[in-house]
Amino acid sequence: MDSELDYELSLDQWQALKALRPPASARRRSNALVLEQLVSLGLASINDGLPSITPIGRKVLIRGSSSLLDVAA
């Protein structure tokens, strides 16, 4: 695994990161604490008061998580 993109995110963090994908007008409200955690990890950012996914966050989301693979197995 690429350690640069290997994040052990909680299910809430994954859900919040996935929710940042649609256009800003279609986004549902995210948990502020979880969003703050994603921002601190560099996976999300706040621009003009709106959360958005960063390029690293997009790569992490596409890559998935080894802990999620364990759940699916």
pLDDT in tens, 6-25: 788 888 888 888 888 766 55
The number of CA neighbours under 13 Å toward the Cβ of 51 is 27
Domain map of the chain by residue range?
3-72
Q: Which two tokens stand for residue 5?
A: 């993109």
pLDDT in tens, 23-47: 655 555 668 888 999 999 999 999 8
CB 23 within 8 A of CB 66: no
Instruction: Output 5 or 6, whichever has higher pLDDT.
Output: 6
CB atoms within 10 A of CB 49: 5
pLDDT reported for residue 73:
47
The yes/no answer on whether domain 3-72 falls in CATH 1.10.10.410 is: no
Residue with the larger pLDDT of the pair 40 and 67: 40
pTM (predicted TM-score): 0.58
Q: pLDDT at position 45, please? A: 93
